[in-house]
Amino acid sequence: MPPPLPIKKQKPQEQTGEEPKYLKSLIDDKHPVRVKLVDDSEVEGVIEYYDSSFIRLTREGEPNLFLFKHFIKYIMEL
């Protein structure tokens, strides 16, 4: 009888498909968020639009921002 073959571990998926659902819910609810960037700076506002590369953050009394996703560390609901 041959020895059993080793079980190969599968690499976790890069994308779960949950990001678009989450961002859409934030947009639909106009929920204020704080976005922390990779340089540890933070900005607050409401996400108005997103695509595969960036989000648009609308802020009161300040210019709106286009934030590239690769510069975002995390998004926190306020």
What's the pLDDT tens digit per position in 49-63?
Answer: 999 899 999 999 999
Residue 74 clears pLDDT 90, i.e. is over it: yes
Percent of the chain whose pLDDT exceeds 70: 96
Second CATH level (architecture) for the domain 30-77: Roll (2.30)
Predicted pLDDT at 5 = 73
What ranges do the domains of the chain cover? 30-77
The average confidence (pLDDT) of the chain is 90
CA angle 64, 45, 22 (to 5 degrees): 110
What's the pLDDT tens digit per position in 3-60?
Answer: 777 777 777 677 778 889 999 999 999 999 999 999 999 999 999 999 989 999 999 9
Q: What is the pTM of this model?
A: 0.76
Judged by DSSP in three states, 21 sits in helix
